[in-house]
Amino acid sequence: MKIKLTEEQYNRLLVENDKDFLEGEVNFRHVGNKINKFIVKLFNILKKKGISELYPAMSMLKEDFSLDEDESLMLAYNYLKFINKSSFDDLLGEPLDFYGKFSMDMDIPMYTTMSGWIPGKVQGFGTSYEDFVEKMEDADYENVSLDNRAYVEYDESNTEWEIDDDYLYDRVGDVAMDMDIEDQIHLGW
């Protein structure tokens, strides 16, 4: 199949895309994919204020210049990439690196803390019943023995689930190595 194009249509197809990132998946309202005069001015203001960390730079861009969170994050990242430049003016026309939030689908390892009761004995020493009771009131015991034939009684509403950070740290890398990017990686949170 052949398609006829006018010279004007053909030339429009050759125009470089100066707005999109990630092959068209991301397009910011106020910021293109190259450094322009507005961005140079923002970088100069950030440097003049002595900002040298991601979140303070992002916060200032968001609050003082009404950029959205994603635009602010990407510009703050690029500002920090070029922070050691003596002048940002020579960056005009340079491409910006995309920097944004991604998420990955996976099963998160969890652990729980439960409390319950099982019959048993707390053992300790004392010179009299009263002395033993005083020591127990201070939790001054020597040993605990459980009735291993009994079941633990518990209340499910007292179960507290938490993320197992140590296992998650190892698991994220393993999952990332074996994943299908199209099915498990998503832009944004």
Tell me the average confidence (pLDDT) per consecutive run of 10 residues in the chain, 189 residues long: 67 51 64 87 94 94 90 92 90 86 84 86 89 89 86 81 89 80 69
In order, the DSSP letters of 34-63 are: B--HHHHHHHHHHHHTT--SHHHHHHHHHH
**CA 123 to chain CA mean position, Å:** 49
Does residue 36 belong to any structural domain of this protein? yes
Residues 37 and 108 in one domain: no
What pLDDT, on a 0 to 100 scale, did the predictor assign at position 14?
Answer: 46
Instruction: Phi first, then psi: give them for residue 145, nearest 5 degrees.
Output: -125, 140
What pLDDT, on a 0 to 100 scale, did the predictor assign at position 23?
Answer: 56
What pLDDT, on a 0 to 100 scale, did the predictor assign at position 8?
Answer: 67
Mapping DSSP to helix (H, G, I), strand (E, B) and coil, where does residue 121 land? strand
Number of structural domains the chain divides into: 3
What pLDDT, on a 0 to 100 scale, did the predictor assign at position 151?
Answer: 84
Residues 71 and 94 in one domain: yes
What pLDDT, on a 0 to 100 scale, did the predictor assign at position 15?
Answer: 46
The alpha-carbon radius of gyration of the chain (Å, integer) is 31
Q: Look up the domain containing 14 and give its range.
A: 7-99
Please report, for the chain, how many H helices and E strands are present, in that order. Answer: 7, 10
Residues 65 and 39 in one domain: yes
